[in-house]
Chain A
Amino acid sequence: MVNLENYEEYMMMYADGELDEVATKALMDFVAANPELAKELEAYSATKLVPDTTMVYANKDQLMKTPPAGGRTIGMRTWWMYAAAAAVLLFTVTIMRKGGDTADSPAVASNTPTTQQPASTPTTQTPVTDNKTEKDSNKEELHSNPIIPVNHESNIANAKSKKQKAKSIVEEQPQEEIKIAKEEKVTPAPQQPAYKPENEPVQQVLAQQTEKPNKVEEISTPTEETSNEQSKPRRRLLDLLPISRSKKEGASMIASAVSKRVENVTENLKDTDIKLKIGNKEIFVVKL
């Protein structure tokens, strides 16, 4: 209800546009009943500002955003960064692998003397050549040799030979031993009843034990050869280095001394057995 106490508030709300239709009519009726207030109502109504539409913001284009082009550019930059990183990584890996191949080359070269060794029966020569390829690359041999147990046992032999580094030369006798091991696996009758062949690892141990005496014999001869073969790639790598010849010779001497030291350690390990005992009970013995 509009009255003399609150009419001013109604007028201001009218100026603010906050009065509904009923309140507006009530105000107008009140002003009509009190004409001296008409001028005041007009004054309040005049306080309503009208925006100047001629005043505009000039550079709207500067406020606009167009990120798609920039986004694409950033994406390309990122892509090239990854590509460059991948290229560098590939190059590094290639170089390292190249170096690794030269380091492995003695193993290949060391196999060549085996062909010079006393000729054996043709039946034994064939697996020897197979085993050579196995020594070179395990994966290739898996494909080339269809007899899976032979591959498995030869892989064990490979792992063992890698441990002993210079003892990677394959001769006929080890190959025969591998065959023996294979036969043992096919026919589960244990040759050494002291160890129960409960599972595969034990069988592998047995197989390795059967290899041992023959291997000891064979290792003694090619050790010097392998040490010489090992020093060769180092020399080759040293030749690439931009240092004086005297330094290269010194480095090669150090390398050969280190390799001999490693061989000595390996020789010592060869005669060592690993035993697992719980209390007085011997669980298993691994003869290296």
Chain B
Amino acid sequence: MELKDYNNCVKEWADALFRFACKSTGNEEDARDVVQNSFEVLWQKRENVAPAKAKAFLFQVAYNQSIDNYRKQSRVSYKEEIDDSRSITPGQSDLKRVLERALTKLDEQSRALVLLKDYEGYSYEEIGQITGLNESQVKVYLHRARKVLKEYLVSVENVI
């Protein structure tokens, strides 16, 4: 990967990575650290990372760091810190707000899987490569997460 490719990655994926890190860690400051570290690792390993694989590499690093970060700090107050100020802006639907809250009910790994699936549209196989899980595990964890989210949405009356 050349310098130009790296800078293109910054332009292309910094925002997505930041969103993913925000939702994974539940904290913007931690998310910034995750993004900076991820790109730093990419820069250091640029000789071994092809431009086409750069995005997956970034999310892999961010996923590992987010999981570690979350486990270290075990921020339980994740949703209150994140959603009200930035992601839930006035005018957004109640469904989205409830869904953001439902996301906090998931463990960090399941949340990361849902984010990778819904935010970035990765396939089971790609998620498996990023997270180090096999395809079946990804599918099982994701379906468990979907079920939790669905149950939460259904349980909240007036939303659906």
User: Once bound together, how far apart are the Cα atoms of A16 and B115, in whole Å?
Assistant: 11
Shortest distance in angstroms between B34's beta carbon and chain A's nearest beta carbon? 11
Contact for A44 among B32, B103, B124, B150, CB less than 8 A: B150
Q: Given that A57-B35, A60-B14, A65-B3 are contacting pairs, would A48 and B19 also be in contact in the complex, using a CB cutoff of 8 Å?
A: no
User: Once bound together, how far apart are the Cα atoms of A6 and B160, in whole Å?
Assistant: 23
Shortest distance in angstroms between B139's beta carbon and chain A's nearest beta carbon? 8
User: Once bound together, how far apart are the Cα atoms of A49 and B83, in whole Å?
Assistant: 13
Task: Determine if B15 and A55 form an interchain contact, defined as CB atoms under 8 angstroms apart.
Answer: yes
Task: Determine if A12 and B7 form an interchain contact, defined as CB atoms under 8 angstroms apart.
Answer: no
Q: Cβ of A47 < 8 Å from any Cβ of B?
A: yes
Q: Cβ of B71 < 8 Å from any Cβ of A?
A: no
Q: Given that A60-B11, A63-B35 are contacting pairs, would A43 and B117 also be in contact in the complex, using a CB cutoff of 8 Å?
A: no
Residues in A neighbouring B87, C-beta threshold 8 A: 52, 54-55
Contact with A along B77-102 (1 / 0, CB 8 A): 00000000011010000011001001
Residues in A neighbouring B114, C-beta threshold 8 A: 47, 49
Residues in B neighbouring A4, C-beta threshold 8 A: none
Task: Determine if B160 and A54 form an interchain contact, defined as CB atoms under 8 angstroms apart.
Answer: no
User: Once bound together, how far apart are the Cα atoms of A224 and B6, in whole Å?
Assistant: 80
Task: Determine if B7 and A47 form an interchain contact, defined as CB atoms under 8 angstroms apart.
Answer: no
Task: Determine if A16 and B146 form an interchain contact, defined as CB atoms under 8 angstroms apart.
Answer: yes
Residues in B neighbouring A64, C-beta threshold 8 A: 7, 10
Contact for A60 among B10, B89, B118, CB less than 8 A: B10
Q: Cβ of A201 < 8 Å from any Cβ of B?
A: no
Contact with B along A37-79 (1 / 0, CB 8 A): 0011011101111111111110010111111100000000000
Shortest distance in angstroms between B88's beta carbon and chain A's nearest beta carbon? 8
Taking CB as reference atom, which chain B residue is nearest A51? B119
Residues in A neighbouring B103, C-beta threshold 8 A: 49
Q: Cβ of A101 < 8 Å from any Cβ of B?
A: no
Residues in A neighbouring B86, C-beta threshold 8 A: 52, 54-55
Q: Cβ of B149 < 8 Å from any Cβ of A?
A: yes
Residues in A neighbouring B16, C-beta threshold 8 A: 51
Q: Given that A12-B142, A17-B121, A65-B3 are contacting pairs, would A57 and B150 also be in contact in the complex, using a CB cutoff of 8 Å?
A: no
Residues in B neighbouring A60, C-beta threshold 8 A: 10-11, 14
Top-9 shortest CB links A-B: A49-B118, A57-B18, A47-B149, A57-B14, A52-B87, A56-B15, A63-B10, A51-B119, A12-B143
Q: A residues bordering B, Cβ < 8 Å? A: 8-9, 12, 15-18, 39-40, 42-44, 46-57, 60, 62-68
13 further A-B pairs in the complex, CB-CB below 8 A; given A43-B153, A48-B118: A12-B147, A16-B146, A46-B153, A47-B146, A49-B99, A49-B114, A52-B87, A55-B18, A57-B15, A60-B10, A63-B10, A65-B6, A68-B3
